[in-house]
Amino acid sequence: MRRLRALIRKEFTHMRRDPRTLVMILIMPILQLFLLGYISNDVRNISAVVFDQDNSRASRALLDAYRAADYFSLDYVAYSEADVTQLIDSGQARAGIIIPPSYGGDLAAGRSAEVAVLIDGSDPTIANAALSAATFVGQAHATNIRFQQLAVRGPAAVTAGLPFEVRTRVLYNPDLLSSYNIVPGLIGTILLFTTMGLTANAIVRERERGTIEQLIVTPIRNWELILAKITPFILVSMVDVVLILLVGTLWFGVPIRGSVLLLLALSGLYLLPNLGLGLLISTFARTQQEAQIVILPLMLPFWMLSGFIFPIAAMPAALQVISRFIPLTYFLVIVRSIVIKGVGIEILIPQIAALSIFAVLLLGIAALRFRKTLD
């Protein structure tokens, strides 16, 4: 126990003495979040078609809200849903706002109304902007109505939930990269980087700098060394998860519908196979550079094939098979389900099982291969 404590303290000292790495670990996810999250948000005047079946004062107020927000330019008016899709298909409009006939009535009666926004997903940049704008403007307007209702009728008369909801549907590219997807995806990829990449490096560094030679002759056990190496990165990874979630909710308005604790717990589970991979890499590589040579080409397919960037359903069958062997694939499902859909643990059993199997396999192989010798 004393040995383990001494080892862990040493790892934290290394981390403290190398603030650049620490800053990178903590700043990088936020930076990426803003980078990816904002690629979308600078697009204005997206050409839109409106199909207002209600044509009431309430519906016109909603459209005014959309107009005022400057994201959409309501260029076309349609008189059927077919017209809407036709205009989007032809590329003349990038988005379609469909207001149901019952909109005004529902609002007045305190029932929850539903507004549909169709979005052309073929250009992810524009689509992202349209998606977040549609949701954001809708929510803002709904909140306004709620306040008016409260003012006019008092709290007793107001139902729970917002007076109407914007249902977005992305055509052509349904798993579109959006802040809704970026936040979960980033949690997965950042954890991949901190655990696999940095753990491998932290161990290989002992070999590269020759310090392993002095460690070998001490009574430190393999598992103590492994545990000490991964502990700081587990902690930092968890801090990263919390940071991403905070910025994701507070800044980008991604709601966390499910349990944050469950999400943190499953993030912990997801760390294990990645740590196993990092350890495994460290048993092959002699220098940090050699480790990087393995890690980078490994990260790329993880990004590409996990469903973070491209929807899995749209991939060729062979690639779909590969995606099943990537832990990130399962973790993305977990994060999206918890964050966006708010599901509980019972729905996620298959993913949890898959991650557990990966964890046992990878950690097992790594622990068997890990030797405290020079050869």
Partner 1 sequence: MDPLIVASDLHKSFGSTHAVKGVSLSVRAGEAYGLVGPDGAGKTTTMRLLVGALSPDAGTAQVGGFDLQLRTEEARAGLGYLPQRFSLYGDLTVVENLQFFAQVRGVGSADFVKRAAELFKFVGLEGFEHRRADQLSGGMKQKLGLACALVHQPKVLLLDEPTGGVDPVTRQDFWQLIIRLLTEGTAVIISTPYMDEAARCSRIGFMHTGRLLVEGTLRELTASMAGRVLELAAHPKDTVKRTALADPDVEDVLTFGDRFHLRVKEAAGPLARLPGALAEAGATVERLRSVPPALEDVFISLLASSAKGN
Which residues here bind partner 1, judged by CB under 8 A? Answer: 2-3, 5-7, 9-10, 13-14, 17-18, 209-214, 216-220, 373-375
User: What are the Cα distances from residue 232, in Å, to 23, 113, 210, 289, 364?
Assistant: 14, 49, 22, 22, 21
Instruction: Give the whole-angstrom CA distance, residue 46 versus residue 349.
Output: 41
Residue 1 contacts by C-beta under 8 Å, 6 or more apart in sequence? none
CB of 13 to partner 1, least distance (A): 6
Collapsing DSSP to helix, strand or coil, 184 comes out as: helix
CB of 235 to partner 1, least distance (A): 19
Instruction: Give the whole-angstrom CA distance, residue 115 versus residue 66.
Output: 12
Nearer to partner 1, 125 or 218 (CB): 218
CB of 337 to partner 1, least distance (A): 42
Q: Are 88 and 171 in contact (CB under 8 A)?
A: yes
Nearer to partner 1, 111 or 371 (CB): 371
Burial class (CB in 10 A: 0-12, 13-18, 19+), 68: exposed
Nearer to partner 1, 45 or 211 (CB): 211
Residue 99 contacts by C-beta under 8 Å, 6 or more apart in sequence? 50, 51, 52, 53, 54, 59, 62, 63, 115
Instruction: Give the whole-angstrom CA distance, residue 79 versus residue 88.
Output: 14
CB of 206 to partner 1, least distance (A): 9
Nearer to partner 1, 78 or 225 (CB): 225
Nearer to partner 1, 7 or 277 (CB): 7
CB of 25 to partner 1, least distance (A): 17
CB of 198 to partner 1, least distance (A): 16
Instruction: Give the whole-angstrom CA distance, residue 132 versus residue 139.
Output: 10
Instruction: Give the whole-angstrom CA distance, residue 327 versus residue 324.
Output: 8
Collapsing DSSP to helix, strand or coil, 168 comes out as: strand
Q: Are 338 and 266 in contact (CB under 8 A)?
A: yes
Nearer to partner 1, 261 or 374 (CB): 374
Nearer to partner 1, 212 or 238 (CB): 212
Nearest residue to 279 via CA among 295, 266, 264? 295
Residue type, 66: Y
CB of 231 to partner 1, least distance (A): 16
Nearer to partner 1, 18 or 70 (CB): 18
